């Protein structure tokens, strides 16, 4: 089937790319992927990508970290072996709470940061020894690539992309 075919349109300027994306979207073509050497502000909005929920996960991880820190300080310092260390009040957790705040804070940040990064890796499918998915090495340097799947409309698409200022257009068989 021809659905394995995609068009790769290359651009050498992010402003031209943005206009091209808007134009292609305006013609109601689906854009499979855009490869850029650096973040292009507003590209996600132009592509209509849903906003990330990574910040929400980070907030939840942070709360988890706080809870674990509270449990840790309470269990070790108050419940398990409440010693008198330098006159600090170990009768209840909240009496000695100020001494625990640095730990609460650090564990909150630790959990929020690390778990969010791991979430990011998992959701983005990045790991060591992962095979790079780069259709054209120039996109890591100075070119921008837009990938559009072809559904028996190869000539239309080519004609459209010609008008958007693409420096190179090629039809590729995807395996």
Partner 1 sequence: MYQFSGKLKMLAIILMAVGLLGTVISFMNTPGSLEEAKEILAAQEASHHGGHGASHGGDTHHADAGHKTEEEHSTEHKEESKDTHTATEHKEETHSTETVKDSVHHETEVKKDSIVDTVNHSDSTHVAHAEGTHETPDHTEDTRLTDSLNGHVTEKAHANPTHGEGAHTDAGHHGDHHAEHAFHQMQNRPWSAVYVSLLFFLGITLLVFAFYAAQRVAQAGWSVALFRVMEAITANIHYVSVAMLLFIILTVMHYNHLFPWMAEGTFELGHENYDPIVDGKKWFMNVPGWVMRSIFYLLVWNGFRFIIRKKSIEQDNGDLKLHKNLYNLSVGFVVLFMITESMMSWDWIMGIDPHWFSTLFGWYVLATFLVSALTVICLVTLYLRAKGHLPMVNDSHIHDLAKFMFGFSVFWTYLWFAQFMLIWYADMPEETVYYALRFKEYIVPFIGMLALNFIFPILLLINSDFKTVPWILVIGGLFILVGHYVDLFVMIMPGTVGGQWGFGIGEISAFLFFLGLFIFATFTAFSKANPVAKGNPFLHESETHHYYIIEHRGEDNNAHH
Applying CB under 8 A, the residues found at the interface with partner 1 are 18, 41-42, 45-46, 51, 55, 59, 84, 87, 89, 91-92, 94-95, 97-99, 101
The single residue listed with the structure tokens 């940061």 is 113
Helices 54-73 and 97-124 meet at what angle, rounded to 10? Answer: 140
Nearest distance from residue 87's CB to partner 1, in Å? Answer: 6
User: Cβ of residue 81: shortest distance to partner 1, in angstroms?
Assistant: 17
Nearer to partner 1, 98 or 137 (CB): 98
Q: Is the Cβ of residue 88 or residue 170 nearer to partner 1 in the bound state?
A: 88
Q: DSSP state, 166?
A: -
Structure tokens at 149: 């799947």
- Residue (105 or 121) nearer to partner 1, CB: 105
As a whole number of angstroms, the longest Cα–Cα distance in the chain is: 82
Provide, rounded to whole angstroms, the least separation between the CB of residue 53 and partner 1: 12
Q: Shortest distance, CB of residue 128 to partner 1, whole angstroms?
A: 30
Dist CA 100 CA 64 (whole Å) = 16
Query: In this structure, are residues 162 and 170 in contact, taking their beta carbons and an 8 Å threshold?
Result: no
């Amino acid at each position: 089937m021809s659905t394995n075919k995609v068009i790769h349109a290359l651009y050498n300027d992010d402003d031209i790319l943005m206009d091209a994306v808007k134009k292609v979207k305006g013609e109601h073509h689906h854009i499979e992927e855009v490869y850029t050497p650096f973040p292009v502000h507003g590209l996600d909005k132009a592509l209509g990508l849903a906003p990330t929920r990574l910040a929400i996960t980070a907030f939840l991880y942070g709360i988890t970290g706080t809870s674990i820190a509270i449990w840790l300080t309470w269990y070790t310092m108050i419940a398990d072996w409440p010693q008198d260390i330098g006159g600090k009040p170990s009768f209840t957790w909240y009496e000695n709470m100020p001494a625990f705040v640095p730990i609460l804070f650090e564990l909150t940040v630790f959990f929020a940061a690390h778990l969010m990064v791991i979430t990011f890796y998992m959701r983005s499918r990045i790991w060591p020894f992962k095979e790079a998915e780069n259709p054209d090495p120039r996109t890591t340097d100075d070119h921008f690539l837009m990938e559009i799947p072809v559904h028996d409309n190869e000539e239309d698409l080519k004609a459209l992309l010609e008008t958007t200022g693409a420096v190179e257009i090629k039809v590729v068989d995807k395996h």
